[in-house]
Amino acid sequence: MKNRTLPFIAPMLLVAVLQNAHAADTSDPLPMESIPDGQVVVPAVQAPDAPPALLSPQTVEVRNNSPFSVLVVQKGHKETLETKGILERNVSQYPVSVTPADGTAKLKFVTLTSKTGTCKQQFCLIVQ
């Protein structure tokens, strides 16, 4: 049995090497007269000169306005917040959870606001 694939492979490799692919040069915009009617030229988006600003720490002030104590939990760290108590937590990396300290008590509302009134931090989490 003869191997007949060799005579066919050599010409195909020669054609593949000699073949040139020509792509359109996108660095130069098309002249206005070559754009068909009804189409527009959209310029490429330019990258910003400066790197984006680093994320600043975001602090939330947790205020307990409920008639019972609550637990403020952040990455496994639990802290009891008494009635009318205030805690500050950095939430730029880990979320903050609030739950009643007593299993039978229920929260009415949990409200997140920006710095307003007596809130001294960027955000205020009010528990009622």
The pLDDT, as a whole number, for residue 21 is: 52
CA dihedral 107, 111, 117, 121 (to 10 degrees): 110
Q: How far apart are CA 39 and CA 53, in angstroms?
A: 37
**Four-CA torsion 66, 109, 127, 103, nearest 10 degrees:** 60
The full set of domain ranges for the chain reads: 59-127
Confidence of residue 63 (pLDDT cuts 50, 70, 90): very high
Q: Encode pLDDT of 67-114 as tens digits.
A: 999 999 998 889 999 999 999 998 888 899 999 998 888 999 888 888
Q: What percent of the chain has pLDDT over 70?
A: 60
If we measure between CA atoms, which residue out of 126, 114, 115 comes closest to residue 87?
126
pLDDT category at 25 given cuts 50, 70, 90 is low
CA-based R_g, the chain, Å: 33
Instruction: Select the highest-mean-pLDDT range: 10-24, 27-41, 99-113.
Output: 99-113
